[in-house]
Chains A and B, each alone.
Chain A
Amino acid sequence: MPKIQDYIYRPEFECMSRSEMEALQSERLRKTVELVYNNCKPYRAKMDECKLKPSDIRSVSDLSKLPFTVKHDLREAYPFGFYSSPKSDIVEVHASSGTTGKLTVVGYTQNDIDVWAEIAARSLAMAGVTKDSLVHVAYGYGLFTGGLGAHYGAQKIGASTVPASAGNTIRQLTLLRDFGATHLCCTPSYAIYLGTEIEKAGMDIGDFSLVGGAFGAEPWTYQMRDELERLLHIDALDIYGLSEISGPGVSMECMQKHGNHVQEDHFIPEIIDPETLEPLPFGCEGELVFTTITKTGQPLIRYRTRDLCTLSNERCACGRTSVKMSKVKGRSDDMLIIRGVNVFPSQIEAAIMNVSGVSPHYMIYVDRVNNLDIMEIDIELDGNLASDRISDLEAIKRKVESEVNSYIGVSAKIKLCEKGTIKRSEGKAVRVIDRRD
């Protein structure tokens, strides 16, 4: 029996019929296209280049006529060149760092903050957050949208919100226990870390009041969910978002635990082939693309997320009618090309989690030796040494090796490590160290 009592926060939108939804999306899309064309120089230039006028976009079926937006466009316009509203209307600015050093900046009007709070509230309702709940937010607060996103959602519902932010594990555990937190929001890797530290801190999970949580900001596997649910005695749900589109809550998993509902009355999702850029039908894997249709500060048209997943329009047993997205397989930015094979850290994680005796803590090292890509995976054993035979440990090692090989088709050297030796992250987990130039 799940401890969570989930509910639908905004049934009039979340359970709309397809024709109602498309009519609403079409109307909002038209408004958004007009707004960006008239107020955002880069969008006017893009549309002029395609010889498109706002009047060419009449409904969602015209969406594919519009040009894409990529992260590079936002960086080119650094810092505020993508605003579609006057700077005086912007009430909050977030930014995410990139590998190239330049930040991707996102400005929010009060309307955008309200939209964000709304979608975050809908998401937390899927995890059963009510005004009687106590939501402990251990995402980082700051330029990163994780902390404030969960915060706005919990407050909109009227729950007690504890802005713990990231770091200081012992204090996190003490607050969680003593305040009687019912819900936890943070990255899944940090939640697992908290779970494994409970015993070490001399605490007992039986003294906690947790029932559920929304975990995101990094791709995670179903096996990791099992581990998290076992450690914290909760239902662990996946919350998805990205700062460019809004932050956490763009989509959220319901208690069916099979895909995330996209808040389609605010964001239109598409899946495209990342090579040909052609839209793909439901069920096909490709790159996820979003168009925001209610934001005013920095609306984005057909923004390429680099996240790979599938979309599904199958009816969900929870009653919501919105399109669902599968778990993100990986951000195409995270993809490693090893000896010509595309490898996602999430696939390696899924492989590792099939082996008993090892923990979910691992680090992937990639090197190039004599022009050959070499992958080494350091993985911690779990705290219970089930056997003191060398041969049994060698067998665990070989099992990880063969699982990884069969999942990704590339062999890796496995190193078993002592518990607690792989660096824990308090925000987004660092899983890969690529030492090739």
Chain B
Amino acid sequence: MLVKQLSVFMENRPGRLYKLTHALGKEGIDFVTLSIADTKDFGIVRFIARDNEKAYEILKKEGFTVGITELIGVEVEDRPNALAEVVHLMEESNINIEYLYSFVLTNHNSAKILMRVSDTERAVAILQAKGIKLLSEKIL
């Protein structure tokens, strides 16, 4: 039901992102998503790899500060207002969206939204009740 995302703490200075992406790339790990939240001093790189477990092990072994978060993933039609409808469902139930990102795959007619919310359980129930397609671990 939920999608696992890895997050890595990173100091905000040159060379850090390469170190991370190269550590995984040279082991044949493929990224599905990647986003960065940053402040002046540090950032958090959030990503989903095709093999999350292996990616996690590699990063642990290489000494990264790494954690796992579970996100809600939904699949909506790739059309105007589709994202707004999902966001509205959360807001009208007073569920706070802590962060969200979305992506579209070219050969599909759908968009995928990944979000971390303040009340995951309730959000899932609401989305299911509305018949919105939730993404599982295998999001592709």
| 13 examples of A-B residue contacts, CB within 8 angstroms | A381-B65, A383-B65, A385-B8, A385-B9, A385-B67, A386-B67, A387-B69, A388-B5, A388-B67, A388-B116, A418-B11, A418-B16, A419-B63
Mark contacts of B1-38 with chain A using CB atoms, 8 A cut-off: 1 yes-contact digit, 0 otherwise: 00001011111000010000000000000000000010
Q: Which residues of A have CB within 8 Å of B121?
A: none
Q: Which residues of B have CB within 8 Å of A171?
A: none
A-B contact count (CB 8 A): 60
Query: How many residues of A are counted as interface, with CB atoms below 8 angstroms from the partner's CB atoms?
Result: 23
Contact A416 B44 (CB under 8 A): no
Task: Name the residue on B nearest A421 (C-beta).
Answer: B11
Q: Which residues of A have CB within 8 Å of B42?
A: 393, 416
Bound-complex Cα distance A415 to B64 (A): 17
B97 lies within 8 A of chain A by Cβ:
no
Closest chain-A Cβ to B98's Cβ sits at a distance in Å of 6
Mark contacts of B34-65 with chain A using CB atoms, 8 A cut-off: 1 yes-contact digit, 0 otherwise: 00010101101010000000000000110111
Contact B39 A385 (CB under 8 A): no
Q: Which residues of B have CB within 8 Å of A386?
A: 67
Which residues of A from 367 to 421 have beta carbons under 8 Å from B? 380-390, 393-394, 415-421
B66 lies within 8 A of chain A by Cβ:
yes
Which 8 pairs show the lowest CB-CB distances between chains A and B? A385-B67, A388-B7, A420-B63, A419-B65, A381-B65, A388-B69, A385-B65, A385-B9
Task: Name the residue on A nearest B11 (C-beta).
Answer: A418
Closest chain-A Cβ to B123's Cβ sits at a distance in Å of 16
Given A382-B65, A419-B63, A419-B65, A393 and B44 touching (CB < 8 A)? Answer: yes
Q: Which residues of B have CB within 8 Å of A419?
A: 9, 63-65
Bound-complex Cα distance A345 to B39 (A): 28
Contact B46 A388 (CB under 8 A): yes
Supply 15 further A-B pairs (C-beta < 8 A) apart from A200-B63, A380-B65: A382-B65, A383-B63, A383-B64, A385-B44, A387-B67, A388-B46, A388-B67, A388-B69, A388-B116, A390-B44, A416-B11, A418-B16, A418-B64, A418-B65, A419-B63
